[in-house]
Amino acid sequence: MAERLDVLERSLHYSFNDKALLTRALTHKSANFQHNERLEFLGDSILNCVIADLLFSQFESATEGELTRARASLVNQNTLSQVAQEMSLGDYLRLGIGEQKSGGFRRDSILADALEAIVGAIYLDKGFLQAYETIQQWYEGRLAILKPDEQAKDPKTQLQEWLQANQKPLPRYSVVSVVGEPHAQEFTVVCEIAELSLLVEGQGTSRRIAEQQAARKILEKINAR
C-alpha cells in the first residue's frame, strides 16, 4: 500500500509527512467509520479560497460576476472529478463492497469529494501555503486558458436575471422526491413560477443538478413563447 501511495503522491505533486491523513482522505464512508467527509468539508473551503485568490490575482480587469462564474467553472463536481481522473485517483480510493461493485471509483461525486478531502489533508499536514501551492499546480493548465468573460452563466442564474429584468417574482424550487441508495440517489425538484403559469420538474444526482435542469426547462418554455 505504501508503494502505491508513493505513486499517487507523485501525481499529486505532494508528499505527506503524515501518511494517515492521505489514507483518511481516500476512505469513503462506505468503507470505514473513519472516512473522509470532515476532510472534504475543510478542503472545500480551502479550495474555494485558493481559486478565488488565483483568479483575483490573474484577472485584474474581471468583474465580480465574471470571477464568480470562473470560480464556479473550476470548483464544481465535473471539473474536480476531471482533475482527480488525471491523477488516476480512483485507483487508490478505499470503498465499501457495494461501492466497489457499483463502480464507485469512477463516480464523479466520489472522485470530487476525495480530491477536496486531499486538499484538507494537505492543509492539516503542512499548512495553508503548501495547500495553496499544490492547488496552483493542479490548476495551472486550466488557469492558463481560462477566459472569465466567456464563462457561460448557469441556467438558474440566467433564469433569475431574466425574471428580475422583467420584474417577475423569483422561482420556487422544491424537492419532491429522493430515491435510491445513499451512494446513488436521484433527486426530483419542481420549479414553479406561478405568475407565468409555469411548473416543471428536473432530475439529477444532486439537488443542485436537479434545480439546474428544472431552470433550463423553464427557460426553454419562456423562449418558446
Q: What rounded mean pLDDT belongs to the chain?
A: 91
Give the Cα separation of 102 and 65 in Å (integer).
39
pLDDT at 180: 84
CA contacts within 13 A on the Cβ side of 174:
7
pLDDT at 5: 86
107 shares a domain with 183: no
Residue 3's pLDDT band (cuts 50, 70, 90)? low
Average pLDDT over residues 22-51: 94
100, 121, 150 — which closes off a domain?
150
174 shares a domain with 94: no
Residue set of the binding site for Mg(2+)? 40, 113, 116
CA contacts within 13 A on the Cβ side of 84:
29
92, 121, 150 — which closes off a domain?
150
209 shares a domain with 122: no
Written as nine digits, the cell of 209 is 443538478
139 shares a domain with 83: yes
176 shares a domain with 126: no
Could you say which of 3, 9, 53, 116 is catalytic? 116
Tell whether the torsion through CA atoms of 96, 14, 82 and 216 is positive or negative: positive
86 is catalytic: no
CATH classification of the domain holding 92: 1.10.1520.10
Average pLDDT over residues 189-194: 94
The percentage of residues in the chain with a pLDDT greater than 70, rounded to a whole number, is: 97
74 shares a domain with 25: yes
Number of domains in the chain: 2
Give the Cα separation of 107 and 86 in Å (integer).
14
Per-residue model confidence as pLDDT tens digits over 151-165? 777 888 889 889 998
Written as nine digits, the cell of 96 is 465499501
Tell me the one-letter amino acid at 188.
Answer: T
pLDDT at 2 over 60: no
Q: Helices (DSSP H) in the chain: which residue ranges? A: 2-12, 19-25, 37-58, 64-74, 77-86, 97-101, 108-126, 128-145, 155-165, 207-224
160 shares a domain with 63: no
Average pLDDT over residues 101-125: 91
pLDDT at 34: 87
144 shares a domain with 169: no
Residue 210's pLDDT band (cuts 50, 70, 90)? very high
pLDDT at 201 over 70: yes
pLDDT at 127: 97
190 shares a domain with 142: no
Give the Cα separation of 38 and 126 in Å (integer).
17
Longest Cα pair distance anywhere in the chain, in angstroms?
Answer: 62
174 shares a domain with 81: no
**Secondary structure of residue 200 in the 3-state scheme:** strand
Residue 189's pLDDT band (cuts 50, 70, 90)? very high
Residue 107's pLDDT band (cuts 50, 70, 90)? confident
Per-residue model confidence as pLDDT tens digits over 70-86? 998 899 888 999 999 99
Q: Which domain holds residue 213?
A: 155-224
123, 150, 177 — which closes off a domain?
150
53 is catalytic: no
56 shares a domain with 30: yes
Per-residue model confidence as pLDDT tens digits over 215-224? 999 999 988 8
Chain-centre distance for alpha carbon 103: 19
| β-bridge mates for residue 202, sequence order | 189
CATH classification of the domain holding 185: 3.30.160.20
20 shares a domain with 107: yes
pLDDT at 206 over 70: yes
pTM, two decimal places: 0.72
pLDDT at 87 over 60: yes
Residue 41's pLDDT band (cuts 50, 70, 90)? very high
